[in-house]
Amino acid sequence: MPDHIEVRVTAGSPDEADRLADAVVGRRFAACAQIVGPITSVYWWDGKVTRSQEWLVLFKTTAARFGDLAGCVREVHSYDVPEIIAVPVAIGTADYLGWIDRETDH
C-alpha cells in the first residue's frame, strides 16, 4: 500500500456527506474532503437491484490513517454497510503530499 490514499465513501444525503466530512477532517483523519453529487448508484441490496441518489465523499489521507478514518465513518454513517474503500495515490506533487502528511499527523 502506498503512503497516500484517497478514501471513497458514499452518503445518502448532502447533510450526511457534510457530517462525514466534518467529522473525519475535524479529527484530522484526512487533510481534506471533497463532496461530489448527486450521483446515481445501482447496487444489490436485500436480494434485489436497487437504484438510489447518493453523494460521494473523497477523503485525502495517509494509509496509516485509514483505520481511524474508517472507524469514524462507521460511527457517523447511517448505512448498515457504508462504502469505505481506499484507492492508492500513485504519484503527486511533493508539496501536496507533504501537506496531507502534516495535516493528518496529529
What local confidence, expressed as pLDDT, does residue 1 receive?
A: 60
pTM: predicted TM-score of the whole model, two decimal places = 0.95
Does 2 score more than 90 pLDDT? no
Q: How much is the average pLDDT of 36-60?
A: 97
Query: Total structural domains in the chain?
Result: 1
Q: How much is the average pLDDT of 87-104?
A: 97
Average pLDDT, the chain: 97
Q: What is the CATH number of the domain that holds 68?
A: 3.30.70.120
Q: Categorize the per-residue pLDDT at 86 as very low, low, confident or very high, splitting at 50, 70 and 90.
A: very high
Residue 89's domain spans which residues? 4-104
3-state secondary structure labels for all residues of the chain: CCCEEEEEEEECCHHHHHHHHHHHHHCCCCCEEEEEEEEEEEEEECCEEEEEEEEEEEEEEEHHHHHHHHHHHHHHCCCCCCCCEEEECCCCCHHHHHHHHHHHCC
Percent of the chain at pLDDT exceeding 70: 99
